[in-house]
Amino acid sequence: MKKLSLNSLNQWLEGIAGERRVIAPIEAADQVNYGVWTPDSKIRLDALRTVKSAKDAFFPQVENMMNFRAEGKNLSVEMIDPKAEDFVILGVKACDARSFDILDRVFLSDPYDPFYAARREHATVVTLACGRPDENCFCVNFGIDPADPKGDATMWIVDDTLYLRANTEKGEALVKDLEDADDAAVKAQQAKTREVAEKLPFARLNLKGFDGDHLMEKFNDPHWAELSRACLGCGTCTFVCPTCQCYDIRDFDTGHGVQRYRCWDSCMYSDFTLMAHGTNRPTQVERFRQRFMHKLIYFPSNNEGMYSCVGCGRCLAKCPQNLNIVKVIKALGGDEA
């Protein structure tokens, strides 16, 4: 275990930033999101959750994939090199850290995504334990410990001190020069955090039946129509969700060639997966059902029971119609385990 005074945080980050980019929770325009840290940044390690998740560092909203150029009858293709630069992402909470495991199963499975793989290879993930989860948090339902998140290194803030524990070789290299410390203060804080997490309103959701054995039962459940009635199809839930990975691939005519790029999309949009014959999910109730069936049924059925939800609470906080995955679980499963 290592420790660092919070007053010395910027000095430590300056040393890291001299060698590679540092991405951290930064406050700008009264919102906290992950961004590139500079000495002038207002870092907010005290924020419980960022508006958007840490997936932005690995799965950006827009990225160029290849370029086409036509000269007469000759067509040339320029593939974009997926090589990434080393970077440190700091302050990742346990829920967002779990989301990387879920995204890995999507983008690192055969055939793997070279753009995502390059970023994962070059990243050093430094997680931050939650001090006090709030009423929108429900990560404990998915086996996540907010008091002991995984990563290359883990941090805890106790009073005016930052405690750090290396978990991998990358983490060891990052914290090796810091002062040694015992873990008594960390253990005391962990106990308090776990006590709070277990008493939160949604700490004991009933997930019984959310598995492949009950697929058709859940698919045909009559609650879907009522649950989706107020949905606007705005896609807010998918853009703040740390595990949503739907994307579209488009071509843009630059005037001297064509740029093919990938951009985020949402299964909640009426034109998602639109083809010449139309779409497989033409109604909002079908699109609404698809989103939550994927999180709670399809994904765990194909991934050894791992749900594609991490209980971060962003959809609870941001949906303009107060629709969220907790309401779905309660309607289709029950209130408590």
pLDDT band at 83 (very low <50, low <70, confident <90, very high): confident
Average pLDDT on 91-118 reads 96
Full DSSP string of 127-157:
EE--SS--TT--GGGGT--TTS--SSEEEEE
- Res. 56: pLDDT tops 90: yes
CB 329 within 8 A of CB 210: yes
Average pLDDT on 107-111 reads 94
pLDDT band at 71 (very low <50, low <70, confident <90, very high): confident
In a domain, 116, yes or no: yes
- CA distances, 14 to each of 3, 38, 154, 161, 175 (Å): 17, 8, 19, 18, 14
Q: What is the pLDDT of residues 162-202, one digit of tens each?
A: 999 999 999 999 999 999 999 999 999 999 999 999 999 99
In a domain, 188, yes or no: yes
Average pLDDT on 108-122 reads 95
In a domain, 32, yes or no: yes
Strand positions, DSSP E, 37-107: 62-71, 74-79, 87-92
Residue 218's domain comprises 2-332
pLDDT value, residue 276: 62
Q: What is the pLDDT of residues 140-169, one digit of tens each?
A: 999 999 999 999 999 999 999 999 999 999
d(CA 275, CA 43): 44
Q: What is the pLDDT of residues 197-234, one digit of tens each?
A: 999 999 999 999 999 899 999 999 999 999 999 999 89
Nearest in space to 297 (alpha carbons), one of 250, 245, 333, 257: 333
pLDDT value, residue 303: 95
- Res. 65: pLDDT tops 80: yes
Cis peptide bond upstream of 320, omega within 30: no
- Specify the number of domains making up the chain: 1
Q: What is the pLDDT of residues 302-325, one digit of tens each?
A: 999 999 999 999 999 999 999 999
Kind and range of the H or E element at 27? strand 21-28
- Res. 11: pLDDT tops 90: yes
Instruction: Order across the sheet with 247-253: list the strands.
Output: 74-79, 62-71, 258-264, 247-253
Contacts of residue 253, defined as CB under 8 A and 6 or more positions apart, other chains included, come to none
CA 284 to chain centre: 25
Q: What is the pLDDT of residues 263-297, one digit of tens each?
A: 999 888 877 777 666 667 778 899 999 999 999 99
Average pLDDT on 16-33 reads 95
In a domain, 110, yes or no: yes
289-314 b/e (C-beta count within 10 Å ≥ 16 → b): bbbbbbbbbbbbbeeeeebbbbbbbb
pLDDT value, residue 337: 43
Helix count and strand count (H, E) for the chain: 12, 12
In a domain, 252, yes or no: yes
In a domain, 337, yes or no: no
Alpha helices per DSSP H over 199-298: 215-219, 223-228, 236-240, 284-293
In a domain, 35, yes or no: yes
pLDDT, the chain, mean:
93
Q: What is the pLDDT of residues 28-54, one digit of tens each?
A: 999 999 999 999 999 999 999 999 999
Kind and range of the H or E element at 103? helix 94-107
d(CA 112, CA 107): 5
In a domain, 255, yes or no: yes
